[in-house]
Amino acid sequence: MFHLTPETEEDGYEVEYLYDLAFAPGREALSSYRLREDVAPVGALCLVARDAYGVLAGAIRYWPVVIGEGRHAALLLGPVAVHPTYQGEGLGGLLVRESLDRAAGLGWHRVVLIGDAPYYGKFGFTRAEGLAFPPPTNPERLLCRGLVDGAFAGVAGVIGSVLRS
């Protein structure tokens, strides 16, 4: 059994350690990190999962981004990580489902991510037609999900930082 709560400042070091453990060295060189520079994450959607002993078992974060010349608001999901000792127990899915439900409840309309289509397809993500991500990114890994009907109607272009015009 896992207990999900919003990430707090006190969780920060543990979460960063988990991301370092889960992802290859140099993860911060990825293009998705350029969109996060100097931008605060969406705190209400950044969740941590702890086991019955209070040990950090997983974490997920979201960042605000904009899409195309219309600067349509969207969420960038990621990173999401599960400690190796808890992988295969459904914790990653729990974090994704719970955070998407919370995002919809907060009025967000669209979510994008860079990830594996077979995994994220279980949560309603599909290939992001008409969208582009800053290089170097494999366009086949750019996925999207609307949280409301028609969320991506008329939305196209490059995904960018909320700080840049």
Q: Could you read off the pLDDT of 54-98 as tens digits, one per residue? A: 999 999 999 999 999 999 999 999 899 999 999 999 999 999 999
Residue 111 β-bridge partners: 75, 145
Residue 29: pLDDT over 70: no
Residue 34: pLDDT over 90: no
pLDDT computed for residue 22 by the predictor: 86
pLDDT computed for residue 38 by the predictor: 85
The string of pLDDT tens digits covering residues 116-131 is 999 999 999 999 999 9
CA Rg value for the chain: 15
pLDDT computed for residue 36 by the predictor: 77
Query: What totals of helices (H) and strands (E) does the chain contain, helices first?
Result: 4, 9
Is the dihedral angle over the CA atoms 6, 11, 15, 16 positive or is it negative?
Answer: positive
Peptide bond into 25 cis (omega under 30): no
In the chain, the amino acid numbered 116 is: D
Instruction: Please report which confidence band the pLDDT of residue 31 belongs to, taking 50, 70 and 90 as the band edges.
Output: low
Instruction: Please report which confidence band the pLDDT of residue 137 belongs to, taking 50, 70 and 90 as the band edges.
Output: confident
Query: What's the mean per-residue pLDDT of the chain?
Result: 93
Give dist(CA 156, CA 79) in Å, integer: 23
Q: What is the CATH number of the domain that holds 46?
A: 3.40.630.30
pLDDT computed for residue 136 by the predictor: 84
Q: Provide the residue range defining the domain that includes 95.
A: 3-161
Number of structural domains, the chain? 1
Residue 49 β-bridge partners: 4, 58
Do 12 and 103 contact (CB within 8 A), yes or no?
no
Average pLDDT over residues 16-27: 81
Residue 143 β-bridge partners: 113, 127
Is the dihedral angle over the CA atoms 8, 14, 18, 20 positive or is it negative?
Answer: positive
